């Protein structure tokens, strides 16, 4: 595997230019710029809010300096609160080409689009010279999320991802799982896998926080489509979602934007800290994907039983279909048919091996189905987090 060496020592498996709007008022201009390069490695991301938010600031800084990103164009209206100059400085300090367009200062929509298109075209040529480097499994960070789950998810795709995660961790790679809102009732089981007593307590508290937050906000992670797909209770869905983590010891607990300090298996806590206040909607697959990418994920393993077509900007999404009927109907969107387990055409171990091999192939440059179809979904909203404590990371 060969990738792109960045100045901080991390290595990317893709080399994309991101066009990032810094307020919703700049979204149209940024979209017009990025859509001019359809089929090329130009991805649209952004934050819609005008009021400042430390979480969004942190995520945007992490994304614009992600190992898969070669450069970034920032699109500002000019009067929003986002600290655009600091973001630009951080991009340039990382050795990447960066540029800031202020729509008001530039003279409006047409002039801003014209300048942006010219800069992106030059930047695409510039990043072709980025230094290449061999990538080992130890360099890879892989996230996982499930969406559109049904009764097959917890017995095929999810445990197969768990097998692949066990292989990845054994070979000194890094794996991230999340969805604490779908682990309510499993906190004691999960906490027993922690590498230290302090971490065990932190894992348990993260699930208790999710339970409290969901109760106050009236949220839930059991959708009508889950029931239509044969899931009967939230407990059944939660146990199936938990299977994605495999059986390896849990090395740490991170929050969005935290970079794992060592290889191993990490739980990501995506539920905001403090009293429920604003901006945290019910579970959103793409928001969680963005948060795992912000923590360094080179790609995302996405399991689905009912069928989901979403991808992401910056990092490839690998679709693992749990249900053989769904796979037959939506095979263009699916990378792996874990439903073969139900038909006795493959074992969990065999599908786990197939997932692991697909990780290596994707890291080597093979596009996933969502990449080939042009999916670049992206969501970033308001949240608030406190820094993780010393017990959360391995010594």
Cβ(149)–Cβ(229) under 8 Å?
Answer: yes
Tell me the per-residue pLDDT of 40-52, one tens digit each, with 9 for 90 and over. 999 999 999 998 8
Domains of the chain from N-terminus onward: 2-133 (3.40.50.2300), 137-392 (no CATH)
- Specify the residue for token string 């130890």: 138
Where helices occur in the chain by DSSP H, the ranges are 27-35, 54-64, 84-93, 103-106, 109-126, 157-170, 187-191, 197-217, 224-228, 234-242, 285-294, 324-329, 348-363, 369-372
- Specify the residue for token string 């892989």: 142
- Rounded to two decimals, the pTM is 0.94
Tell me the per-residue pLDDT of 214-269, one tens digit each, with 9 for 90 and over. 888 776 665 665 656 665 666 666 777 888 999 999 999 999 999 999 999 999 99
- Mind listing the pLDDT tens digit of every residue in the chain (395 residues)? 899 999 999 999 999 999 999 999 999 999 999 999 999 999 999 999 998 899 999 999 999 999 999 999 999 999 999 999 999 999 999 999 999 999 999 999 999 999 999 999 999 999 999 999 999 999 999 999 988 778 788 889 999 999 999 999 999 999 999 988 888 888 999 999 999 999 999 999 999 998 888 888 776 665 665 656 665 666 666 777 888 999 999 999 999 999 999 999 999 999 999 887 765 656 688 999 999 999 999 999 999 998 999 999 999 999 999 999 999 999 999 999 999 999 999 999 999 999 999 999 999 999 999 999 999 999 998 898 999 999 998 87
């Amino acid at each position: 595997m060969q990738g792109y060496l960045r100045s901080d020592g991390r290595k990317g498996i893709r080399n994309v230019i991101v066009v990032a709007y810094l307020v919703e008022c700049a979204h149209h201009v940024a979209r017009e710029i990025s859509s001019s390069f359809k089929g090329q490695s130009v991805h649209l991301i952004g934050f819609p809010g005008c009021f400042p938010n430390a979480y969004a600031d942190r995520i945007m800084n992490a994304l614009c300096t992600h190992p898969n990103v070669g450069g970034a164009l920032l699109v500002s209206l000019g009067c929003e609160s986002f600290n655009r100059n600091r973001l630009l400085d951080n991009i340039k300090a990382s050795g990447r080409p960066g540029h800031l367009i202020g729509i008001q200062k530039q003279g409006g929509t047409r002039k801003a689009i014209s300048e942006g298109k010219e800069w992106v075209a030059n930047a695409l040529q510039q990043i072709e010279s980025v230094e290449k480097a061999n990538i080992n499994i130890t360099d890879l960070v892989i996230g996982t999320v499930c969406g559109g789950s049904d009764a097959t998810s917890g017995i095929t795709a999810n445990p197969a991802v768990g097998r692949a995660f066990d292989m990845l961790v054994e070979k000194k790679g890094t794996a991230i799982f999340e969805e604490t809102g779908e682990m309510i009732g499993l906190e004691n089981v999960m906490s027993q896998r922690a590498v230290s007593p302090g971490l065990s307590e932190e894992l348990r508290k993260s699930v208790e926080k999710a339970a409290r937050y969901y109760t106050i906000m009236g949220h839930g992670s059991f959708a009508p489509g889950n029931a239509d797909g044969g899931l009967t209770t939230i407990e059944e869905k939660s146990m199936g979602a938990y299977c994605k983590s495999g059986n390896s010891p849990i090395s740490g607990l991170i929050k969005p934007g935290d970079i794992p300090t060592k290889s191993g298996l990490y739980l990501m806590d995506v539920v905001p800290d403090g009293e429920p206040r604003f901006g945290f909607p019910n579970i959103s697959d793409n928001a969680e994907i963005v948060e795992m990418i912000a923590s360094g994920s080179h790609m995302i393993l996405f399991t689905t039983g009912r069928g989901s077509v979403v991808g992401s900007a910056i990092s490839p999404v690998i679709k693992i279909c749990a249900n053989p009927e769904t796979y037959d109907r939506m095979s263009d969107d699916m990378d792996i048919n874990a439903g073969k387990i139900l038909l006795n055409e493959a074992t969990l171990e065999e599908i786990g091996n197939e997932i692991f091999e697909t990780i290596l192939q994707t890291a080597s440059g093979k596009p996933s189905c969502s990449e080939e179809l042009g999916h670049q979904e992206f969501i970033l909203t308001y949240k608030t987090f406190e820094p993780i404590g010393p017990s959360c990371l391995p010594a």
